[in-house]
A and B are shown apart, each in its own frame.
Chain A
Amino acid sequence: MKRFSLVLLLLLGIIGTAYSFLVSDAAGFQAPGLARIFLWHWPCTIAYSVMLFFGAYLCIQSLRTRQAHWDLRTTAALELGAVFGIMVLATGILFSEVEWGAFWSWDPRQTSFLMVMLIYMAYFVLRLAIPDPQVRAASSAVYFLLSVIPQLFLIFVFPRLPQIAQQSLHPSQTIVMGLLSNDYKTAACLTLTLLLWLTGLLYRQRVRASMLNLSLEDLP
């Protein structure tokens, strides 16, 4: 199975990275050549959002059926979401430095996403605090479902409020208004496809590993 990790690494490395360096500089940015950070930042935000909604669906299934395998699936999905959330923050920090002049600008969008991540990570802290598997599954699923509402507000509503959008340095309508060139769009879509494809593979592997561990615990 070691080969699996290597194949993932190679695919992402060769195709995604090579293409992201072939795009032309983006106009309208302080550092046009470094605006290509977007090609990695944006797909991570989409992957994070996908795992957020998928995680919420799995939480509902877990609460509805009370079966252990739904809890394992939820944890696997939300772990992957956490990886992408951290990547969103990290690439955002790099973008902030090159385009806005500081690693942390206290931009409303940057700060609201930090809050999202703190709310999100509390899910894992809560799980660590509850030893009983059934109580842990139910409590963490309820917590996550409740946390989806503030997360959605902080991701999709808060940064678009007129008074907040005016203060923010973060471009919010870049894609909607068609400000990206075609090669940028192609590269971003390619990176997104790769990331989502890899996410699916990793999710399946993670669920397989957790299921195997669960069956080991159940063996007489």
Chain B
Amino acid sequence: MNHALFSMAPPLLIWFGIWWYAYRTDRTLSTAEKALGEILDEKSR
């Protein structure tokens, strides 16, 4: 049990860290793209 836990923990930790950073970056990018789209739409009207 302990062996399996300690074997799995490092890759899971690193996965989670990278996924969290990628997810956070994606959200920032999506929000910025959406805001830019809205501004451009407003200007084109």
Task: Point out the residues of chain A lying under 8 angstroms from B35, CB to CB.
Answer: 216
User: Please, how many angstroms separate the alpha-carbon atoms of A31 and B5 in the complex?
Assistant: 14
Residue-wise, chain A 194-220 has the 8 Å CB interface mask toward B (1 for contact) of 010010001001101110110110010
Given A37-B10, A216-B32: A209 in contact with B25 (beta carbons within 8 A): yes
User: Please, how many angstroms separate the alpha-carbon atoms of A25 and B23 in the complex?
Assistant: 35
Say yes or no for A94: interface residue by CB 8 A criterion. Answer: yes
Given A37-B6, A212-B32, A213-B32: A2 in contact with B26 (beta carbons within 8 A): yes
CB pair A216–B10 under 8 Å, yes or no, is: no
User: Please, how many angstroms separate the alpha-carbon atoms of A193 and B9 in the complex?
Assistant: 20
Residue-wise, chain B 1-12 has the 8 Å CB interface mask toward A (1 for contact) of 001001101110
B5 to chain A, nearest CB (A): 9
Given A202-B22, A215-B36, A216-B39: A40 in contact with B29 (beta carbons within 8 A): no
Please report B residues at the A interface, Cβ cutoff 8 Å.
3, 6-7, 9-11, 13-15, 17-19, 21-23, 25-26, 28-30, 32-33, 35-36, 39
